[in-house]
Amino acid sequence: MTDEHSALALRGLAKRFDGKVAVAGVDLDVPAGSFYGLLGPNGAGKTTTLSMAVGLLRPDAGGAWVLGHDVWTDPVRAKQLLGVMPDGVRLFDRLSGAELLAYHGLLRGMDPAVVDQRAAELLDVLALGDAGRTLVVDYSAGMKKKIGLACALLHGPRLLVLDEPFEAVDPVSAALIRDILHRYVVGGGTVIFSSHVMEVVERLCSHVAILAEGTIKRVGTLDEVRGDRSLEDVFVEVVGGRTATGEELAWLSR
Amino acid sequence: MAVPVTGAGQRGATMAVTGPGGQPAERVRPVSARHFVRLKLRVMGNNFRGQGWRIAMFVGGMIAGLWFAATGFFLLAAPGLADEPTYALMAAAFGGGLLVLGWLLLPLVFFGVDETLDPARFALLPLSRRTLVTGLFAAALVSVPAVAALIATGGLVLTSGLLGGAAAALVAAVGVVAGLLLCVAASRAMTSAFATMLRSRRVRDLAAVLLAVLAALLGPLQIVVVAAVQQADWDRLTGVARVVGWTPFGAPWTVGIDVAEGRAWAVPVKLLITALTIGALLWWWSRSLESAMVGAASGGRIRVRGGGAKVRGGAAKTGGGAAVGGAAVGGAAAGGAAGAVSGAVGQLFPKAVGWARRDRFGALVARECRYWWRDARRRANLITIAVVGIFVPVMVNFGGASFSTGEGMEFAAPDSSPVLVSISMVFVGLLASVTLANQFGFDGSAYAANVVAGVPGRLELRARMAAFSVYVLPMLAVVTVILGMLLGRPAWLGVMAGSLLATYGAGLAISAFVSVLGAYSLPETSNPFAMNSGAGVAKSFLTLLSMLGTAVASVPMVVAAALLGDAWLWLATPLGLAYGLGAALLGAYLAGDVLDRRAPELLTAVTPRR
């Protein structure tokens, strides 16, 4: 059913909330070693799709496979290979950064000594060491994203699923996150992340999928999707954004 | 929840700012209290949409409210129905006074504040403080407790009417309405002021302790009152009632009786007292409201103790954080960082669970332990257990003595029995274990981390039980010893410990099931008193369910205490321990299976709707 070379394979994923369709049958193959951007406007179903892909939300129909392991029937194996940074989800934020990393590491069944060593390294690289014993709840938005990324990376997953990793992140932190992700992909990992920031996607991604109204509208390598135009033009065209004619909202210019 | 509020809020804004059409310099339509009431009803209605169980909860809440209202009505109407004018003043002054007291304190301790209309959401709208306060005040009147209180105090109108005719009834009706306004204003002002003060963690701790103690004292206080009533001479109590009648606590409720007893001159004065109090409360509320609106977003700042964490000013929220994030990219900070980080695992484990192995189970226990202390909501629960756990058994075992002998509160010769002690211990165990009935609700969406990591359900539940027990078992031991000493019956310690352990263990098992199957979300806010509308009812239903199950499960211990006589004094502890431990492990085993299958659904249930 799934391609052996796919790091993540989604088949017919669908979900409705209170009768309203959020995701209407998503098929997606994320090749191993790719840097995959999932684009879509607000409310397109990006978060819902990724939540179903990693086992946080039970789909009404369809399935998800991580490196060939079914997320819903063989969750233990699939989740071992998976690092996740959800969006709009709290961390256990009444722990300090180091405590949070230790918690995640042990929860993944890692050796305590390895956890200590990697946690120190991650905090150092992500410039979170200075925060000391500050609780994560008191971190700034960018720091929260970084510690979330550290938690997802700690156990050395083969596939990283990141929901809006660049949202509310200042340029310095964003550059840092970009570098780390880039190195991770070069080292053989696979990343899929959702975003609606075109430049980031254009700069980083090898593959792109555009999700709108709960279905995949365009999918392929970056060059296939954008052709000879800019990604933004394609995106706006696909999503069906309207351009203002200048007639409405006339009272704004007074 | 945010969607309907914002939507309707924008509607309000449109009304206030632009008005219809695009004409320049259009008329601004004033916003009145009516809009707030309609907004609240709309938000409540939207909350029900497509949520059958919420409607069921609400209906349940209404039935409970009606039941209380009817009871109160007949209690307050009794003096009139029985034609006993002597008691009329007392019923009005004490009953009404208790009502005001309840409105003041109960929201702080147990039920939380209905945040359906969160003041912070109005911060950006061009509303005067006066409009906002009257609007929110009117909206606060639209609630089940307010209606129930109105019905209950309607009994006073009946009493006044029966004793003093139509005029007295009319005055009483005015007084009752004024009294209700006073209750609501007092409750709102109090909670709002507290919410503002509670920004700082230290005040929050202190307040939680004080309030828990205060609430727990209501029980013993009741005994004193009952004992006093039994032997008191009525004249003196009438005198007290008269005095209470002149304070804001009793003034609005007693005006009808005053007319009936021929003191019509007191009516305007008492109504003036009430009006002034309401005015003062509303003014106080509007003051704290403003700061709540401005500062609500920043919330409380919580820091780990020690470890060189310096308290930054509240304003440093983003700026300071970004500076920390940006400045340290170079290696200069590495030394300091390494110092702070040495042994991330070691930092996670508090001393109390130093025994735990550094594996999944240990990590879960350690994190839970940290949370029972650092999460204000959880800590408030622990404090309640500690305080109520001591007072209730004392009350049950000594209260019986004072009732039967009428000798007041003398601790010398309590006529308790192993059965009575068992029952009171069952209650303590029940109270402690029921705290876990919504244990996943405390986590909220953070529980996603455990789902992503694929934590086995059985491990998860066992770890949560263990972490909670780290705090609760020592407390229960202290309760047992204190009670044993007070009773002067060291021989009963075994029975007490046995009943306690058995009930606690069985309660943990039942709470494990309830927490997996009946979880609900708590609002993610720094205000420990906040609670979604409807969640209060949900909470009481779940708690009731767990308590009922636990009580049934603990029946064998009480029966054994009654039947086995002296042998039970020795057998109780080992048997109770085995029973409790077995029940808890079995509960974790079975409920863990359910959790494995339902983890994503559970996560959805505890994630607050946004």
3-state secondary structure B178-241: HHHHHHHHHHHHHHHHHHHHCCCHHHHHHHHHHHHHHHHHHHHHHHHHHHHHHHCCHHHHHHHH
- How does pLDDT run across B289-346, given as a tens digit for each residue? 776 666 543 333 433 333 333 333 333 333 333 333 333 333 333 333 333 435 888 8
3-class secondary-structure state, position A217: strand
Does A181 fall in a domain? yes
Does A21 fall in a domain? yes
> Any chain B CB within 8 A of the CB of A19?
yes
Higher pLDDT, B3 or A141: A141
Size (chain B), residues:
610
Mean pLDDT calculated for residue range B16-42: 67
How far apart, in whole angstroms, are the C-alpha atoms of residue B364 and residue B455?
10
- Using CA atoms, how far residue A158 sits from A60, A81, A85, in Å, is 27, 5, 14
Same domain, A72 and A1: yes
Does A251 fall in a domain? no
Element (DSSP H or E) covering residue B463: helix B457-487
Q: Which of A113, A135, A156 is the last residue of a domain?
A: A156
Same domain, A163 and A74: yes
Higher pLDDT, B270 or B5: B270
- How does pLDDT run across B98-112, given as a tens digit for each residue? 889 888 877 665 545
Mean pLDDT calculated for residue range B214-239: 66
Does A198 fall in a domain? yes
Does A253 fall in a domain? no
- How does pLDDT run across B135-171, given as a tens digit for each residue? 888 988 888 888 899 999 999 999 888 888 888 899 9
Judged by CB atoms closer than 8 Å, whether chains meet at B309 and A134 is answered as yes
B112, B138 contact by CB (below 8 A): no
- Using CA atoms, how far residue B253 sits from B177, B181, B186, B237, in Å, is 9, 12, 15, 17
How far apart, in whole angstroms, are the C-alpha atoms of residue A99 and residue B345?
7
Does A68 fall in a domain? yes
Mean pLDDT calculated for residue range B500-515: 93
Residue A208, exposed/middle/buried by CB under 10 A (0-12, 13-18, 19+)? buried
Element (DSSP H or E) covering residue A10: strand A6-17
Chain B residue with CA closest to A130: the answer is B337
CB neighbour burial string for A120-144, b if at least 16 within 10 angstroms, e if fewer? bbbbbbbbbbbbbbbbbbbbbbbbb
Interface mutation target, options A95, A122, A173, A251, chain B, most CBs of B under 10 Å: A95
Can you give the residue range of the structural domain that contains A178?
A: 1-81+159-242
pLDDT at residue B413 is higher than 60? no
Q: Total structural domains in chain A?
A: 2
Higher pLDDT, B407 or B499: B499
Residues of B in contact with A19 (CB under 8 A): 50
Q: Which of A120, A140, A156 is the last residue of a domain?
A: A156
| Reported ipTM | 0.92
Residue B574 structure tokens: 């080992």
How far apart, in whole angstroms, are the C-alpha atoms of residue B406 and residue B410?
10
Judged by CB atoms closer than 8 Å, whether chains meet at B345 and A105 is answered as yes
Judged by CB atoms closer than 8 Å, whether chains meet at A116 and B445 is answered as no
Does A216 fall in a domain? yes
Band of pLDDT at residue B437, cut at 50, 70 and 90? confident
Mean pLDDT calculated for residue range B36-46: 84
Same domain, A25 and A129: no
Q: What is the model's pLDDT at position A55? A: 92
Same domain, A124 and A231: no
Same domain, A199 and A98: no
Same domain, A111 and A172: no
Among A116, A151, A251, the residue with its CB nearest the CB of B22 is A251
Q: Which of A156, A186, A209 is the last residue of a domain?
A: A156
Element (DSSP H or E) covering residue B135: helix B129-141
- Using CA atoms, how far residue B310 sits from A133, B65, B102, B327, B337, in Å, is 10, 48, 40, 18, 15
Judged by CB atoms closer than 8 Å, whether chains meet at A143 and B371 is answered as no
Does A35 fall in a domain? yes
Q: Which are the contacts of B457, defined by CB distance < 8 A and separation ≥ 6? A: B516, B591, B592, B593, B594, B595, B596, B599
Judged by CB atoms closer than 8 Å, whether chains meet at A130 and B336 is answered as yes
Interface mutation target, options A42, A48, A56, A110, chain B, most CBs of B under 10 Å: A56
- How does pLDDT run across B56-110, given as a tens digit for each residue? 777 888 888 899 899 989 888 888 888 877 788 888 888 888 889 888 877 665 5
Same domain, A102 and A190: no
Say which CATH number the domain at A66 has.
Answer: 3.40.50.300
Judged by CB atoms closer than 8 Å, whether chains meet at A134 and B370 is answered as no
Same domain, A75 and A187: yes
Q: What is the model's pLDDT at position B232? A: 60
CB neighbour burial string for B76-107, b if at least 16 within 10 angstroms, e if fewer? bbbbbeeeebebbbbbbbbbbbebbeebbbeb
3-class secondary-structure state, position A96: strand
pTM across the whole model = 0.70
Least confident interval from B6-15, B38-47, B467-476, B485-494: B6-15
Window A:143-182, CB contacts with B under 8 Å: 143, 146, 151, 170, 172-173, 176
How far apart, in whole angstroms, are the C-alpha atoms of residue B533 and residue A179?
45
Higher pLDDT, B490 or B180: B180
Residue whose tokens read 């340029």: A171
Same domain, A177 and A215: yes
Cα-only R_g, chain A: 19
pLDDT at residue B10 is higher than 70? no
Band of pLDDT at residue B579, cut at 50, 70 and 90? very high
Band of pLDDT at residue B28, cut at 50, 70 and 90? confident
Closest by CA to B390, choosing from B470, B464, B485, B468, is: B485
How far apart, in whole angstroms, are the C-alpha atoms of residue B501 and residue B499?
6
Same domain, A167 and A236: yes
How far B458 CA sits from the closest chain A CA (Å)? 14
Least confident interval from A202-211, B155-164, B353-362, B565-574: B565-574
Share of chain B above pLDDT 70, in %: 71
Give the pLDDT of chain A (254 residues) as one tens digit per residue: 445 568 999 999 999 988 889 999 999 999 999 999 999 988 889 999 999 999 999 999 999 999 999 999 989 999 999 999 998 888 998 899 999 999 999 999 999 999 999 999 999 998 888 887 888 988 888 899 999 999 999 999 999 999 999 988 888 888 999 999 999 999 999 999 999 888 889 989 999 999 998 999 999 999 999 888 889 889 988 887 666 666 777 788 76
Same domain, A229 and A173: yes
> Any chain B CB within 8 A of the CB of A108?
yes
Band of pLDDT at residue B216, cut at 50, 70 and 90? low
3-class secondary-structure state, position A23: strand
Q: What is the model's pLDDT at position B36? A: 87
Same domain, A136 and A14: no
Interface mutation target, options B49, B305, B329, B347, chain A, most CBs of A under 10 Å: B347
How far apart, in whole angstroms, are the C-alpha atoms of residue B302 and residue B286?
27
Residue A205 structure tokens: 């991604």
A119, B341 contact by CB (below 8 A): yes
Residue B85 structure tokens: 């004018």
Window B:309-338, CB contacts with A under 8 Å: 309, 317-318, 320-322, 324-329, 333-334, 336-338
- Using CA atoms, how far residue A206 sits from A135, A182, A229, B182, B510, in Å, is 36, 11, 16, 66, 51
